[in-house]
């Protein structure tokens, strides 16, 4: 008898190859579900034939926690524009990113794969590093560009900054932003500090400024994003707006600094909320709100060691850099008027690896034909199909060292090293250890986790190392 929880019959195995030829078969249960659900507001077969598929806006924050938005329970940070996205769309309460730190998390978002599968599971990319996401990997931007989308990346990249590794080499027509984290900079450090590196602001593959004033980064990314929307209002477009904030050092513009009762961290989140409002106003102004799926999430949990300068994971335990829920479970809001039910909530497990196959499914874009993906098409969860269950049977948690640390299966989460077991539905804060009453389940989950990791390791693909630099990051 298997003790592993199974979510029902929908979806594929986590390691099923999502080959182009298999994909229509994968959609079949979804289409079937559509025909049995008169409330379903979306017909994916029609969408795939649509000559003008939906625009995609993916807004990503950096190190913002599960508990940092009003609509996720923060008592003093004001996020009216994000709350409006939740009120007009769907709020996810069990959304996971692929890693508890920046680079691997972004690799998972872009590729639909566990970071380990694309060789980026360890730590983050630093200015002196010579590696990045392999150009042979297929990103969301590449999938959509092949479908005829204009693609723009505004903000932080952090998947490689040497020649051939920038957003413009990974499917984006346009890039305006910084290639790595905003703390890999001189700006917040005292004079005559010993830190070797500086932060470039880039347009395309050119450095246009060194050490940009970080007070204005959120506003400048937003202005560029608004221009991109206006330029491509006739669509389709993919806008990836990846804020540098609230990763420390924290900076807000003059309009927001000193305004939030939460202090500077609150100012920063409230400016990001303003930015979200600007994007939504631009969609409204161009009358494309119902033609645009807006997604909002964070790359990992809050950086708790910075205390008041870090965010909050709410009731979740731990934060950035840990595999407690607070490190990898973050807000996800999805808004698409006329397609996603307003003021709805999804408690099923969804992960950042699901973005690529879901977006491909919604837009009729072609998935990479010969590579293993780990994500699933979760259109049925996104659009609230009655009875839809998560296709993610197991979710693997990797430490920033790259090692497998834990696995979630249904409501249960097992930490492999310590043997701690938690029931995440009864105990989302991971306070009440339950392994002694569930020894058989622990053994079975352990062996399943190790087998999945072994399979993933055996099929992992390499990163790209590049000698040629585009700039000298040393100060
Ligand atoms: Mg981060």
Q: From residue 452, how far is each of 15, 16, 66, 151 by CA, in Å?
A: 8, 12, 27, 34
Q: What backbone phi and psi angles, to 5 degrees, belong to 327?
A: -80, -30
Cα–Cα dist 187/178, whole Å? 14
How much distance in Å is there from the Cα of 250 to the middle of ligand 1?
Answer: 13
413-452 tens-digit pLDDT: 999 999 999 999 999 999 999 999 999 999 999 999 999 9
Ligand 1 centroid – CA 97 distance (Å):
10
198 alpha carbon to ligand 1 midpoint, in Å?
A: 19
Are 303 and 433 in the same domain?
no
- What is the C-alpha to C-alpha distance for residues 408 and 66, in angstroms, rounded to an integer? 18
Domain co-membership, 82 together with 179: yes
From 158, 243, 247, 339, active-site residue: 158
Same domain, 410 and 367: no
Residue 302 forms part of a structural domain? yes
Domain membership of residue 47 (yes or no) is no
Per-residue model confidence as pLDDT tens digits over 56-69? 999 999 999 999 99
Indicate if 287 and 403 belong to the same structural domain: no
Question: From the CA of 255, how far away is ligand 1's center (Å)?
Answer: 25
Give the structural domain span for 273.
53-382
Q: How far is the CA of 102 from the centre of ligand 1 (A)?
A: 4
How far apart (Å, rounded) are the C-alpha atoms in residues 179 and 176? 9
Residues with a beta carbon under 5 angstroms from ion ligand 1: 62-63, 102, 299-300
Q: What is the chain's length? A: 475
Q: What is the pLDDT of residue 370?
A: 81
User: How many whole angstroms from 19 Cα to the centroid of ligand 1?
Assistant: 31
Residue 470 in any domain: the answer is: no
For 464, phi then psi, to 5°, come to: -110, 130
352 in the same domain as 285: yes
Is the N-terminal amide bond of 246 cis, ω within 30° of 0? Answer: yes
Q: Which of 356, 382, 408 is the last residue of a domain?
A: 382
CATH code at 347? 3.40.720.10
Q: What is the pLDDT of residues 245-288, one digit of tens each?
A: 999 999 999 999 999 999 999 999 999 999 999 999 999 999 99
**One domain, residues 76 and 209:** yes
**Do residues 119 and 195 share a domain?**
yes
Specify if 471 maps to a domain: no
* The two three-digit tokens of residue 445, written as one number: 């989950």
Catalytic residue check, 188: no
- One domain, residues 76 and 184: yes
Res. 26 pLDDT band, cuts 50 70 90: very low
Give me ligand 1 centre to Cα 61, in Å.
8
Whole-number Å distance, alpha carbon 39 to ligand 1 midpoint, is 38
By percentage, how much of the chain surpasses pLDDT 70?
89
pLDDT band, residue 337 (cuts 50/70/90):
very high
CA dist., res. 46 & res. 5, Å (int): 34
Question: Using one digit for the tens of pLDDT, what is the confidence trace for 132-166?
Answer: 999 999 999 999 999 999 999 999 999 999 999 99
pLDDT tens for each residue of 284-320:
999 999 999 999 999 999 999 999 999 999 999 999 9
Catalytic residue flag (residue 102): yes
Q: Kindly report the CATH number assigned to the domain that includes residue 440.
A: 3.30.1120
Please check whether residue 472 lies inside any domain of the structure: no
Measured in whole angstroms, how far is the alpha carbon of residue 238 from the centre of its chain? Answer: 15
Same domain, 98 and 143: yes
Residues 6+ apart with CB under 8 A from 32: none
Residue 110 binned pLDDT confidence (cut-offs 50, 70, 90): very high
Does 407 lie in the same domain as 371?
no
Whether 22 is in a domain gets the answer no
What's the mean per-residue pLDDT of the chain? 91
Single out the residue in 382, 415, 433 at which a domain terminates: 382
H or E element at residue 160: none
Tens-digit pLDDT profile for residues 1-22: 333 433 332 333 333 332 222 2
Calculate the alpha carbon distances from 188 to 62, 66, 157, 437 in Å.
Answer: 17, 26, 20, 50
Write down the pTM of the prediction: 0.91
| Domain closes at, from 335, 358, 382 | 382
> What's the 248 CA to ligand 1 centre distance in angstroms?
10
**Do 213 and 269 share a domain, yes or no?**
yes
In 218-237, which positions are buried (b, 16+ CB within 10 angstroms) versus exposed (e)?
bbbbbebbbebbeebbebbb
**Residues 95 and 286 sit within 8 Å (Cβ to Cβ):** no
Domain count within the chain: 2
Looking at residue 51, its pLDDT comes to: 65
Assigned domain for 206 exists = yes
* Residues 410 and 299 both lie in one domain: no
Confidence of residue 52 (pLDDT cuts 50, 70, 90): confident
**Catalytic residue among 34, 74, 102, 232, which?**
102
DSSP of 451-467 = HHHHHHHHT----EE--
Q: Is residue 2 part of a domain?
A: no
Predicted local confidence at residue 409, as pLDDT: 98
């Amino acid at each position: 008898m298997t003790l592993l929880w199974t979510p029902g019959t929908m979806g594929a195995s986590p390691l099923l190859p999502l080959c182009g030829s298999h994909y229509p078969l994968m959609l079949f249960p979804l289409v079937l579900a559509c025909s049995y659900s008169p409330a379903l507001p979306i017909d994916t077969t029609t969408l795939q034939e649509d000559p003008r598929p939906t625009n995609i806006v993916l807004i990503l924050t950096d190190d913002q926690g599960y508990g940092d938005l009003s609509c996720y329970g923060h008592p003093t940070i004001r996020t009216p524009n994000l709350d409006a996205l939740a009120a007009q769309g769907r709020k996810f309460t069990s959304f996971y990113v692929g890693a508890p730190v920046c680079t691997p998390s972004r690799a998972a978002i872009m590729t639909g794969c566990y970071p380990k599968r694309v060789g980026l599971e360890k730590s983050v990319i630093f200015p002196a590093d010579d590696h990045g996401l392999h150009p042979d990997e297929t990103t969301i931007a590449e999938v959509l560009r092949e479908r005829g989308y204009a693609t723009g990346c505004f903000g932080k990249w952090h998947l490689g900054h040497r020649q051939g590794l920038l957003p413009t080499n990974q499917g984006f027509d346009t890039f305006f932003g910084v290639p790595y984290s905003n703390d890999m900079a001189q700006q917040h450090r005292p004079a005559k500090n010993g830190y070797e590196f500086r932060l470039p602001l880039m347009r395309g593959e050119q450095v246009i400024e060194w050490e940009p004033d970080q007070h204005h980064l959120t506003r400048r990314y937003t202005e560029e994003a608004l221009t991109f929307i206006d330029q491509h209002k006739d669509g389709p477009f993919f806008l990836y707006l990846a804020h540098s904030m609230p990763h420390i050092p924290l900076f807000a513009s003059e309009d927001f600094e000193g305004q939030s009762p939460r202090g500077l961290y609150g100012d920063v989140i409230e400016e990001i909320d303003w930015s979200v409002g600007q994007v939504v106003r631009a969609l409204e102004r161009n009358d494309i709100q119902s033609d645009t799926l807006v997604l909002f999430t964070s790359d990992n949990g809050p950086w708790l060691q910075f205390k008041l300068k870090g965010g909050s994971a709410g009731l979740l335990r731990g934060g950035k850099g840990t595999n407690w829920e607070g490190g990898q479970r973050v807000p996800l809001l999805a808004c698409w008027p006329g397609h996603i039910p307003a003021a709805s909530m999804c408690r099923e497990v969804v992960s950042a690896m699901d973005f690529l196959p879901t977006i491909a499914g919604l837009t009729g874009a072609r998935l990479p034909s010969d590579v293993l993906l780990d994500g699933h098409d979760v259109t049925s969860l996104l659009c609230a199909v009655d009875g839809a269950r998560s296709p993610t049977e197991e979710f693997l948690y990797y430490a920033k060292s790259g090692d497998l640390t834990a696995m979630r299966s249904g409501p249960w989460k097992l930490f492999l090293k310590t043997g701690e077991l938690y029931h995440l539905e009864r105990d989302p804060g991971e306070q009440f250890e339950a392994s002694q009453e569930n020894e058989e389940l622990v053994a079975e989950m352990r062996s399943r986790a190790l087998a999945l990791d072994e399979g993933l390791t055996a099929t992992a693909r390499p990163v790209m190392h590049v000698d040629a630099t585009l700039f000298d990051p040393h100060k």
